[in-house]
A and B are shown apart, each in its own frame.
Chain A
Amino acid sequence: MWQDIVVKIVVCFAGLANLFLAIYVYKKNSKDSINKNFLYFGLAIFLWCLVNFIMLFEKNIFWFRVTYSIGTIVTLTGLYFTLALCNTKINKWLQIFLSLVCSVFFVLIIFTPLLFENLVSFTSTAIAPVSGPLFFIWAGYMVFLIGTALSIPFLVINKVDAERKKQILYFITGEAIFGIWAILVIIALPSLGINQFNNLDTPATIFVVGFTSYAIIKYHLMGIRSLLFKAFIYTLVIIIIIALLLVLMSVGSYLFAHEMIWPIYLIAILIAIALFFIGRLFFVEKRDLEKAKINLTGLLEQSEKNRTEIETERDKTLTIINSFSDGLIILDEKDKIFSINPEAEKMLGLKVQKILNKSIYSLSDFIKAVPIVSVLNDGLNNINKKEVVLSKDIIYELSVIPLKLTKKDIGHLVVLHDVSREKIVDRMKSEFVSLAAHQLRTPLSIINWSISMLKKGDFGKLNKGQKEVIERASETNESMVSMVNNLLNITRIEEGKYIYETSMMDMKELVNSVLNNYQHLIKNKKIKIEYDEPIDLPKIRVDSEKIKIAVQNLIDNAIKYSHVGGKIIITLKNDGKNVEFIMQDFGIGIPKDQSDNIFSKFFRSDNAKKVDPNGTGIGLFLTENIINAHGGRIWFESEEGKGTSFHFILPIN
Chain B
Amino acid sequence: MADFKNKKILLVEDDILLGKLMSKKLVENKARVTLAIDGQEAVDKIKENPKFDLVLLDIMLPKMDGFQVLENIRADKDKKDTVVVILSNLGQKNDVERGVSLGAKKFLVKAILSPDEIIEEIDAILK
**A: which residues have CB within 8 A of B?**
434, 438, 441-442, 444-446, 448-450, 452-453, 456, 458, 481, 484-485, 488, 492, 497, 499
Contacts and interface: CB of A to CB of B under 8 A. Distances in A.
B21 A450 contact: yes
B112 A481 contact: yes
A492 B92 contact: yes
Contacts of B51: none
Contacts of A450: 17, 21
B22 A449 contact: yes
A485 B109 CA distance: 11
B96 interface: yes
Counting contact residues on chain B (CB < 8 A from A), the size range is: 20 to 34
Contacts of A434: 92
Nearest to B94: A497
A456 B117 CA distance: 12
Contacts of B89: 438, 441-442, 445
Contacts of A453: 21, 24-25, 115
Looking at B18, B92, B111, B116, the one whose CB has the most chain A CB atoms below 10 A away is B111
Interface string B4-34: 0000000000010110011011001000000
Contacts, number: 56
Given A458-B28, A497-B93, A497-B94, A445 B110 contact: yes
B49 interface: no
A445 B89 CA distance: 8
Which of B15, B24, B92 has the most chain A CB atoms inside 10 A of its CB? B92
Contact of B111 (A458, A481, A497, A499): A481
The 5 closest A-B pairs by CB, nearest first: A445-B110, A441-B89, A452-B114, A441-B111, A445-B111
Given A438-B90, A441-B89, A442-B89, A449 B114 contact: yes
A445 B18 contact: yes
B111 to A, nearest CB: 4
B92 A497 contact: yes
A499 B17 contact: no
Contacts of B114: 448-449, 452
Given A453-B115, A484-B111, 5 more contacts: A442-B15, A446-B18, A481-B112, A488-B91, A492-B92
A456 B92 CA distance: 30
Interface string B66-94: 00000000000000000000000111111
A452 B112 contact: no
Nearest to B90: A438
B112 A446 contact: no
A444 B113 CA distance: 11
B93 A499 contact: yes
Contacts of B96: 499
B92 A444 contact: no
A441 B24 CA distance: 21
B110 A458 contact: no
Interface of A, helix, strand, loop or mixed by DSSP: helix
A446 B109 CA distance: 12
Contacts of A488: 91-92
Nearest to A499: B93
A524 to B, nearest CB: 22
A427 to B, nearest CB: 14
B116 A444 contact: no
Contacts of B24: 453, 458
Contacts of A481: 111-112
Contacts of A444: 111
B57 to A, nearest CB: 15
Nearest to B21: A449
A235 to B, nearest CB: 97
Nearest to B109: A441
Nearest to B14: A442
A545 to B, nearest CB: 9
Contacts of B25: 453, 458
Interface in B93-124: 93-94, 96, 109-112, 114-116
Contacts of A456: 116
Given A452-B115, A481-B112, A485-B112, A446 B15 contact: yes
A442 B114 CA distance: 13
B93 A448 contact: no
A256 to B, nearest CB: 124
A206 to B, nearest CB: 105
Contacts of A452: 114-116
A505 B60 CA distance: 33
A450 B25 CA distance: 11
Contacts of A497: 92-94
Most chain B beta-carbon contacts within 10 A, residue among A442, A445, A452, A456: A445
A276 to B, nearest CB: 105
A481 B91 CA distance: 14
Nearest to B16: A446
9 contacts: A438-B89, A442-B60, A442-B111, A448-B110, A449-B18, A449-B114, A453-B24, A488-B92, A497-B93
B110 A441 contact: yes
A446 B116 CA distance: 14
Nearest to B113: A448
Nearest to B118: A449
A139 B110 CA distance: 129
A445 B117 CA distance: 13
A446 B92 CA distance: 20
Contact of A448 (B28, B91, B111): B111
A47 B1 CA distance: 133
Interface string B39-73: 00000000000000000000010000000000000
